[in-house]
């Protein structure tokens, strides 16, 4: 993709999963890539795996729940590369639990990681992205559009991304900023089915599965990464995978009871 040649991209949560896949795709397309996460050992290993003889992937550790570390992160990226063309807000995590048993502190913690960290990074990046007429990508989830059972605070931490993306599009789109919201179903991963064993111990067995047991095939991260880069080139506002989920979103808005019934059917064993 010649479009990405020498463009500067920062990917949060870039040491694993979809963030790592996006970083790899950008590096192959010729971009200057910097990844960030909290785990320095995992981060350095990911950067080494991405780097080639012709192009190196930079890495900078940061805790995105801390404003001073966010500001220092972006200052270092701009100091190194003199510009910023793409910010991918991919850092975040999921959860399992009954919503009635999920405390306000648990909601606050997940909202901080999944939403407020995106706000912190985006606000600091905006002057640079407006100057380059660049892109900001929010990695949401199907849960950014519709909630499901036994996901604890996760849907409430992802729903705000949809509103935030729309506000940014309306206010800053005319000034040159491209905003992309990505709402994927569960991704393929090695620990699928086991990573929530402890959190879901007292919940229905299907809640341990990706997406809380949603009846969808796992999405290959590399394929989704390419789709995201192409959507940026076309300056699309949204990517939903699978695309048919849009129908569920619409039905749930028009007929909430029908939407609830469909979600129950899609997530029950």
| Interacting residues of 182 by C-beta distance below 8 A, sequence separation 6+ | 137, 138, 139, 140, 224, 228, 231, 238, 239, 241
pLDDT at residue 35 in the model: 97
Residue 3 appears among annotated catalytic residues: no
In 3-state terms, what secondary structure has residue 240?
strand
Q: What is the mean pLDDT of residues 237-261?
A: 95
Residue from 150, 154, 164, 196 carrying the catalytic annotation: 154
- The answer on pLDDT for 52 being more than 80 is no
CA distance 34 to 51: 11
- Measure CA 78 to chain center: 22
Q: Is the pLDDT of residue 225 over 90?
A: yes
Report whether pLDDT(212) > 70: yes
185, pLDDT greater than 90: yes
The answer, yes or no, to whether residue 34 has pLDDT greater than 80, is yes
Residue 24 pLDDT exceeds 80 = yes
For residues 35 and 51, give the distance between their C-alpha atoms in angstroms, rounded to a whole number. Answer: 12
The pLDDT score that the predictor gives to residue 269 is 63
In this prediction, residue 1 carries a pLDDT of: 60
The helix or strand, by DSSP H or E, that contains position 43, with its residue range, turns out to be helix 40-50
Confidence band, pLDDT 50/70/90 cuts, at residue 193: low
Q: How far is CA 259 from CA 247, 253, 262, in A?
A: 10, 8, 5
CATH code for the domain in which residue 133 is found:
3.40.50.720
Give the C-alpha separation, 134 to 156, whole Å: 28
Total of domains in the chain:
1
Of the candidates 231, 28, 60, the residue with the CA atom closest to the CA atom of residue 138: 231
Q: d(Cα 117, Cα 133) in Å, to the nearest integer?
A: 22
pLDDT tens for each residue of 107-155: 999 999 999 999 999 999 999 999 999 999 999 999 999 999 999 999 9
Please tell me the distance from the alpha carbon of residue 85 to that of residue 133, in angstroms, as a whole number: 7
Whole-number pLDDT of residue 155: 96
What local confidence, expressed as pLDDT, does residue 18 receive?
96
Q: Is 154 within 8 Å of 95 (Cβ atoms)? A: yes
Given the structure tokens 């111990």, which residue do they identify?
A: 201
**Which pLDDT value is given to residue 53?**
58
Over the chain, what is the mean pLDDT?
93
**Which of 112-116, 118-122, 170-174, 201-205 shows the lowest per-residue confidence on average (mean pLDDT)?**
201-205
Match 């397309």 to its residue by tokens.
Answer: 29
H helices within 29-111, ranges in order? 40-50, 67-81, 104-111
Domain residue limits at 258 = 2-267
Tell me the C-alpha distance between 265 and 259, whole Å. 10
For 161, residues 6+ apart whose C-beta sits below 8 A from its C-beta are: 114, 115, 118, 138, 140, 144, 181
The contacts of residue 74 (CB under 8 Å, 6+ apart) are 10, 84, 121, 124, 125, 128
Q: What is the pTM of this model?
A: 0.94
Residue labelled with tokens 């040159």: 176
């Amino acid at each position: 993709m010649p479009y990405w040649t020498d463009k500067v991209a920062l990917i949060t949560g870039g040491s694993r999963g979809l963030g790592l896949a996006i970083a790899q795709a950008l590096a192959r397309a010729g971009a200057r890539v910097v990844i960030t996460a909290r785990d320095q050992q995992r981060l350095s290993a990911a950067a080494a795996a991405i780097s080639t003889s012709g192009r190196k992937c930079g890495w900078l550790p940061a805790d995105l729940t801390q404003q001073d570390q966010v500001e220092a992160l972006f200052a270092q990226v701009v100091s190194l590369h003199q510009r910023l063309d793409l910010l991918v807000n991919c850092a975040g995590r999921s959860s399992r639990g009954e919503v009635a048993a999920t405390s306000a502190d648990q909601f606050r913690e997940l909202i901080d990681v999944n939403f407020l960290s995106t706000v912190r990074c985006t606000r600091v990046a905006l002057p640079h992205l407006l100057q380059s007429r660049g892109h900001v990508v929010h990695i949401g989830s199907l849960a950014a559009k519709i909630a499901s059972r036994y996901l604890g605070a996760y849907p409430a931490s992802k729903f705000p991304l949809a509103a935030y993306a729309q506000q940014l599009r309306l206010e800053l789109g005319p000034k040159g900023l491209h905003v992309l919201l990505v709402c994927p179903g569960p991704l393929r991963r090695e620990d699928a089915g086991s990573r929530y064993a402890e959190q879901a111990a007292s919940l229905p067995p299907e809640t341990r599965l990706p997406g809380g047991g949603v009846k969808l095939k796992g999405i290959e991260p590399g394929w989704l990464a390419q789709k995201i880069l192409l959507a940026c080139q076309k300056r699309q506002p949204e990517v939903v995978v699978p695309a048919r989920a849009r129908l569920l979103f619409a039905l749930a808005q028009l007929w909430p009871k029908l939407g609830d019934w469909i979600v129950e059917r899609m997530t029950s064993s």
